[in-house]
């Protein structure tokens, strides 16, 4: 199954799709058949990144209340609005925090239904890792 993510006016595949020239032409032809519109191919031009710009930005620390929301079933679009963080920030933090925390909670005998921000605070205090 191929997952296609739709966020506002953006469409993205779950992962990059490699296509050789022949397959790409067939793909474009199929899209033209489906949409009945001509396809304009626009190469992506990466923006120049300046070294040192990240040094000036200080990431906000994650609060226990925010980490609690990462455990909720909310979609990333809702979480982005509630937490005022980028989607990339959410994905990275979920990938780091959720597995470690759920393992810790299971070892402590907590069920995920009873997790509160105070339990997350206890985890952060006991954890050796920093959670910025």
| 14 Cβ contact list (under 8 Å, min separation 6) | 2, 3, 4, 5
Higher pLDDT, 39 or 90: 90
Alpha helices in the chain (DSSP H): 21-35, 53-56, 64-70, 76-83, 87-108, 117-126
To the question of pTM greater than 0.75 for the whole model, the response is no
CA distances from 83 to 48, 117, 130 (A): 28, 15, 19
pLDDT digits (tens, 9 = 90+) for 82-132: 998 888 888 999 999 999 999 999 999 998 889 999 999 999 988 865 545
pLDDT digits (tens, 9 = 90+) for 48-78: 655 555 555 677 889 999 999 999 988 888 9
Report the pLDDT value the prediction gives residue 30, as an integer from 0 to 100: 86
Report the pLDDT value the prediction gives residue 131, as an integer from 0 to 100: 46
| C-alpha torsion angle, residues 76, 82, 84, 87 (rounded to 10) | 0
């Amino acid at each position: 199954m191929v997952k296609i993510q739709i966020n506002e006016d953006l469409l993205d595949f779950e992962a990059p799709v490699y296509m050789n020239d022949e397959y790409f032409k067939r793909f474009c032809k199929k899209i033209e058949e489906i949409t009945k519109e001509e396809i304009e191919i626009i190469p992506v031009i990466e923006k120049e990144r300046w070294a040192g710009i990240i040094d000036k930005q200080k990431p906000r620390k994650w609060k226990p209340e925010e980490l609690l929301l990462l455990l909720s079933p909310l979609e990333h679009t809702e979480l982005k609005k509630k937490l005022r963080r980028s989607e990339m920030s959410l994905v990275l933090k979920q990938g780091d925090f959720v597995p470690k925390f759920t393992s810790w909670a299971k070892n402590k005998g907590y069920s995920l239904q009873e997790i509160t921000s105070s339990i997350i605070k206890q985890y952060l205090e006991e954890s050796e890792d920093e959670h910025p």
